[in-house]
Chain A
Amino acid sequence: MKYSFYSFYLLTIVASVFAIYTARGYHPIASYFPILVCSCLCVLLSIALVKNINDGTMNTGSLPESGLDLSYQAEEKTDYAKKQTIKFFVWIVLLIVASQLFSFLYAVQIWMLTFFRMHGIGWIKGITLSAIAFFLIYYGLYINAGLPIHRGMLLDFRGF
């Protein structure tokens, strides 16, 4: 499966030019390094772009260095995988938003139980595992480490 990197090159070059323009307004000492790095980035990607256009082939194939296993890669590019990825993002965003609104201590129990139920796990197991997660973060992080995980925008849990 081939992927085009033209958009990556062009987007990065435009962003670098914008960053150089922004950095010009900074204090001279603070501007040297970003300008230097962004200039290098622009030059490098321009060369890569021209080279790829001349070669007629865009960047393809896997990088063994990235530690990726191609069998998972193939699985990750199907329509099912895309749907699952979106589902994953929905779940994690739900956890974050719920925690932000109601604090971790409330949100974790409700979110975990919902997650378990939606993934076919029974009520008893779901409630037990959610309770374990609640006690782990309550005693481990709230009581012992003193993290303010009781604070939410709408609710503020004050402990037992």
Chain B
Amino acid sequence: MDIAFQALVDVLSPASIFFMLAGIFVSSTFVALPGFDTKLGLAILIPFIIYLEPVLALSLMVSTYAVSNTANSITSILFAVPGGSGSQATILDGYRMARQGKAGQALSASFTASAIGGIFGALFFLVFIPFMPSIILWFGPVEMLMLVFSGLLLIGALSGSHHYEGIALGLIGMILGTVGIHYTTGQPRFTMDNIYLMDGFHLIPVVMGLFAMPELISLYITNSTISKTGTNNEKTPVRDGVRKTFQNLKLIFQTSIIGTWIGFVPGLGAAITDWVAYAFCKSTLPNRENIGKGDVRGVIAIDAATNAKEGGALVPAMLFGLPGSSSVAILLSAFSIIGIQPGIALIIDTPKIPYVIFWIMVISTIITSVALLFMLPLFNKITVIRPEYLVPFLMLMITVGTYAVANSFYYIWAMMAFTVFGMWLKLHNLTRVPLLIGFLLGPIAERLLETSVQLHGWSLLYHPAVIGGLCTVFAVVLLFKRVVHK
């Protein structure tokens, strides 16, 4: 208890608070821009931490990392342009709410849920870090393959009554994920000898093309403001959003568990958290037919999960040096610069460090959410700007953001191709979500399948995890069918 208090005192020093605010500013700025994410912010900050004391360096780096999923909902909700990899699913309900004149409520709920989810993730990090080694070591490639496999089955759940088309789009997404050089053999696949396709399709052009551009086209066609009814629907947006968030504490708790779970399994892919949380809402909540049509629960659940994930992802990173994402990898390199080496010894020899990280995560999450709630009226005004003013700026933001991925126009043309496909799907009322989930999970599934086959050969088919996983999946599918038919 003394150590926890001592860590809190260190974190609340004026210098530490200053560096936390700097980290929050950098993170919020980068994640609010499409095409940019926390990775870049963390990388830019690394040279600044070399001469800093460990607590100050941790304040700067951990706060940048911890709040990365809070501000990225702003562009998702206001413009249907995902600010980062964890805010794609927020578009589905958040943007609809903005169009219904409830942008303030959506943003307020998003910031509050982010704070609660972030604190949950930090608590998870602190409480479970001593117990995690045995659990993580239990997770071999086969177990992870089964987790990914169950994620792929979510595709069926997300396709509603159109299972065939949904699963087919998921499989197409998986094939698109295989384009490029194969990671073990170096074999170029489906590249048609095009040098640009060697790296495969990047996530940003795919998301921009499938989601952001079709929504922008809608805005251009309808020639009305984002909010079709102005901001009159909202008398007290901050209070409404906060109230709705606290009314759904059970949902926040459930999706926070999902988020931390995905975060702490290394290699599962942090970008899928929002979609898993969305699928959870879509398949379990009462009145779930409203999810995806502007239901605040869709926003709350996703933001809680994506923020809780950060705490979960730090557990394997701190214990084994296993980064669950590229942001965590940069964070780990920053830790090594300031002399913090991940490992069990970290907890035994320097027990204050986990507490310092915990307090930074909690305090920076609260500061960010409160600051963004105060800025809500400003965000709300954006929803009533005329499209002829807004559309060119958004077009520019999307184009430059996509170009920024690798300073190449190839990515912009790839985005245009996905825009045409996304628009076709939208006009034919087909959901675009399975395509993206397949694209995200395909490469992970392939890697895990290869490792599992190399380790177990044909005996993989009767591995306990496979049999158990298949039985669970079968049971879930049956249950899901019953729920759908009801």
Contacts and interface: CB of A to CB of B under 8 A. Distances in A.
Interface of A: 3, 5, 8, 12, 16, 19, 22-23, 26-27, 29-30, 32-34, 37-38, 40-41, 44-45, 47-48, 51, 59, 61-69, 72-73, 75-77, 80-81, 84-85, 87-88, 91-93, 95-96, 99-100, 104, 108, 111-112, 115-116, 119-121, 129, 133, 137, 141, 145, 147-149
A45 B93 contact: no
A137 B400 contact: yes
A67 B93 contact: yes
Interface residues of B, number: 71
Interface stretch (B135-143, B314-322, B354-362, B406-414): B406-414
A41 B187 contact: no
A67 B403 contact: no
Nearest to A66: B431
Contacts of B409: 96, 99-100
A44 B416 contact: no
A96 B399 contact: yes
B429 A68 contact: yes
A22 B190 contact: yes
A51 B427 CA distance: 23
Contacts of A81: 221
A141 B400 contact: yes
Contact of A30 (B167, B172, B182): B182
A78 to B, nearest CB: 9
Contacts of A145: 36, 40, 404
B165 A48 contact: yes
- Dominant secondary structure of chain B at its interface with chain A: helix
A146 B353 CA distance: 35
B442 to A, nearest CB: 7
A62 B429 contact: yes
B422 to A, nearest CB: 11
B13 interface: no
B430 A63 contact: yes
Contacts of A66: 292, 425-426, 429-433
Contacts of B235: none
18 contacts: A8-B165, A12-B168, A19-B190, A26-B189, A27-B185, A30-B187, A41-B172, A47-B164, A65-B431, A67-B92, A69-B96, A76-B221, A76-B427, A88-B221, A99-B409, A108-B396, A116-B392, A147-B400
